[in-house]
Amino acid sequence: MRRRSWGAAVVLALFTGVVPVASARAAPHAPVPLPLVRHFDNRAVSDDARPGAADFDGSGGSLSARDLAAAGWTPGRTLAVDGARLTWPRGKPGAPDNVRADGQSVRVHGRGNALAFLVAGTGGEASGTGTVRYRDGSRGTYRLTAPDWRSGPLATKSVALPHINTPGGQLAEQARLYTVTVPLARGREVASVTLPRDPGAPDLHVFALSVRAGSPGWTGTWSASTAGYTAVGPWADRSVRLVVHTSRGGPRVRIRLDNTFAAAPVRIGGATVAVQEAGAEARGTPRRLSFGGSAGTEIPAGAQAFSDPLGFAVPAEANLLVSFHLPGPVTTAPVHSQAIQRSYVSGPGDHTADASPAAYTSSITTWPLLTGVDVSGGPGSVVLLGDSITDGVRSTQDANHRWPDVLANRLLNQSDVPRFGVLNQGISANRVVADRYPGDGVSTDTGGVSALHRLDRDVLAQTSARTVVVFEGINDVRWGASAGEVIAGLREIADRSHARGLRAVAATIAPCEGEALCTAAADQQRQAVNAYLRTGGDFDAVLDFDAVLRDPAHPARLLPAYDSGDHLHPGDAGLAALAGSVDLRELVP
């Protein structure tokens, strides 16, 4: 397969506005950069009692300060969103709190894999091209696209607020804010950023800007994608004890909790980590985690929280118990729906430090809130972006027979390539180009937003990601998408991954004749996608999972020995065959 250099990547600007940074060259004379707050020239937030004090869109519309506070977006608060740290403006309602992009030079420092902007457009989607200047005197361009604050896609928003303030009264209409990232040149330190100055840029509003730093010294050992926002419990003064399976080990640990898609903050009273003995029983006393030096934390709507590093020997290929206490009522939560693993919920009280399972009187088969476990050291991670087959649907429950688990075992038991962590970002029912879950509100559908819409959060922002393996598309063609639509989506995934310096690997789509939606027409589209993958050259390598799983005597269906019985999902033997077929050298950047 053709290998793409970072500088040669061409990235589409669908919602992300990503283009590759240009090659280094001397920067011309530029104005002295100032902190972003010094450029604020627009008032977006108003007090509900004085809506006329702000005019975000030029027509008197503004964001409700009360709604922002209810979401946990309070003045001066630093929010962790998709791996970036962005500070919500400190001003009171009616004070300048954002800048309309018009070529302003902004002081920004740091090294990382992306610039992160907290933005919104007014009067429609707003786009423009800006400049990044580096400490070494080089510079590069980026293209930034801000979806509209009233009509932009809910699937990619950071937070949605329930009202819009106007001088004539409050409207029951959602306002949206977006975190948009653009790639940086690897290894270079940012000195300043020039905001876009294009005809469409004056309607592009920037509230915050930072460098999204990498995760040096950490490797992701376990992850799960947020698949939807559903009713839970209800839980109040309960402890949730989740069972997760590590890929590689390390001497220190941290966890990541995500309040993705939420409308309100969630309070974590305390959290612990332990090695599982059996069921909800810990091997030894669980160890206390902290968050910014405190026992617990509040996670605003749409944001995330990392625990502080903890000295704790995490074994490779072991089940951990990650427990957290929910002191207040929790009736809805972001969840990963198909854990294929039993976890536990306690009776009343903080039982996170209990080694005994006695208090954990009920079980669940989802993973709420928890999205990642990292260990110190290691070479980084391989991220597997997929659907139900990657998620492990129809594999044996509580047995860790998903193909990512088997792949992790292979990596650990060899010495030819680095022993990467393996991060499973599969979501059952997920598609490449269409959202199953709309991205906002409480829903019973947990098929997630599309692979395109979750790529930044679930791949590009993952801890020390080195390589992405994309194994999706069967749900698209089963539900009527054309091969051309799927191919365009896969090509965008390859381009955006290359722009961030990741190796991009694709897997061909497996057959599924005999399943209700796997018609002859769907199979024709599947085969067209596979033909593109085998010959297109957009990916650095292709894993031919179709060839591994198909019946040689009847190539449109699964080999009976690998069929779980529903003709769509491989069973344990088929999943093991997938992992066993991977040439591990193809995972190395």
Residue 72's closest CA among 155, 177, 181? 177
Does residue 438 contact residue 261 with C-beta atoms inside 8 Å? no
Summarised one tens digit per residue, pLDDT across range 417-426 is: 999 999 999 9
pLDDT at 421: 98
What contacts 282, CB < 8 A, 6 or more positions away? Answer: 274, 275, 276, 321, 354, 355
Cβ neighbours of residue 570 under 8 Å, at least 6 residues apart? 389, 394, 403, 510, 549, 558, 562, 563, 564, 577, 578
332 with 263: CB under 8 angstroms?
A: no
Q: Rounded distance, CA 478 to CA 469, Å? A: 21
Nearest of 119, 113, 75 to residue 98 by alpha carbon: 119
Stretch 138-156: mean pLDDT, rounded? 97
Statement: residue 5 has pLDDT above 70: no
For residue 454 the two structure tokens come to: 């979750």
- Full-model pTM: 0.94
Strands (E) in 172-318, as ranges, are: 175-183, 190-194, 204-212, 218-223, 228-235, 238-245, 250-258, 266-268, 270-278, 281-289, 297-299, 304-306, 310-314
Check whether 125 has a pLDDT greater than 60: yes
Q: What is the pLDDT of residues 364-418, one digit of tens each?
A: 999 999 999 999 999 999 999 999 999 999 999 999 999 999 999 999 999 999 9
- For residue 30, the model assigns a pLDDT of 59
pLDDT greater than 50 at residue 25: no
Domain segments of the chain as ranges? 6-212, 228-369, 379-589
Cα separation, 49 vs 509, whole angstroms:
56
CATH number given to 379-589: 3.40.50.1110
Residue 23 has pLDDT above 50, yes or no: no
